Amino acid sequence: MGIDTQADDGLTTVRLDGRVALVTGAGSPDGIGYATARRLRQLGARVAIVSTTRRIHDRATELGATGFVADLTDEAEVGALADAVAEQLGDVEVLVNNAGLASRASPEVLRPVGQLTFDEWRSEIDRNLSTAFLCSRAFIAGMAERGWGRIVNLSATAGPVNALPTEAAYAAAKAGVIGLTRALAMEMVADGVTVNAVAPGTIYTAASTVTEIKQGLGTPIGRPGTPDEVAAAIAFLCSPAASYITGQMLVVDGGNSVREAQFR
C-alpha cells in the first residue's frame, strides 16, 4: 500500500506537489469543476481539465492547466483521453469525476416517470453515472500499480438524500454514483487508493434558476453555496491528509438535509 507524503513537521500534508490531477466537466468559468481545478493547482498539482467543447482551452489558459475535449459517455473517447493525458502530463494520480451537469446542448430532462422516454432516461444515467464509471475504470489500474491514488465523484443531495418530482433519472444516477463510490472504494482499498463522493445541495452559479436561488435562501445557513465551497471539500478528499477516509459521501448543503422541518 502506498504511503502518503508527510510534511516536515510530521503532520500529513494537504499539498499535492507534482501529482497529476484530472478534473472532468470544467468548461464553465463559474462551475464546480473549474473551482476544483483552481484549488488543485494552488495545492501544487499538475492539472488536466476536460469538457465536451473547445471552451475548455480558454479555462486551461486561465488556470495554467492542460485542456482536453472529449465526450466522456463514449468509451473510445475516454480511452483516447487517458492516453493523451499520460503522454502530455504523466500518469493520473487524482481524478475528480465532476462531469454530469446539464448544458445548453444537452439540457436536463425534467419529466415525470410516466412520461419519461427510455432514451431520456439513458441520457441522464450516461451523463451522470456512466461518465464516472468510464473515467474511473480508465485510471484505477495505474493508481493501483503505483500504490497511491485519489478519486472523488460528484453526486448530489438529489438521489442519495432527497428527491424532487420530475427528476427521477437524475436522482437515480446520482444515487448510483454513491453505489459506485462505495463498491470501488472497497475494491481499491488495499492498493492505497481512496474513493469518496461529494454531494452538493443548492450551489449558486450563472446557470442557477430563480427557483434554485430561492431554495438556497431557504437553507439553515440562509444562502446557496458557492462552487469554491464545494471545491474545498473535494480538494481535501484529494489530499494526502484524507488518507483514512474512503467510501464516504460528504454532503455540502448548508445543513439543509439535517433539518427536519422548515423553521425560517
Catalytic residue chosen out of the listed positions 34, 170, 204, 244: 170
**Per-residue cell: 260:** 427536519
CB 196 within 8 A of CB 151: yes
Catalytic residue list contains 244: no
Sign of CA dihedral 195, 201, 203, 207: positive
Beta strand pairing call for 249-252 and 149-154? unpaired
Q: Distance between CA atoms of 55 and 67, rounded to whole angstroms?
A: 9
**Per-residue cell: 35:** 473551482
**Per-residue cell: 83:** 492516453
Calculated CA dihedral for residues 54, 55, 58, 59, nearest 10 degrees:
-110
Q: What is the DSSP string of 32-80?
A: HHHHHHHHHHHTT-EEEEEESSTTHHHHHHHHT-EEEE--TTSHHHHHH
Q: Distance between CA atoms of 238 and 75, rounded to whole angstroms?
A: 25
Q: Which residues carry out catalysis? A: 170
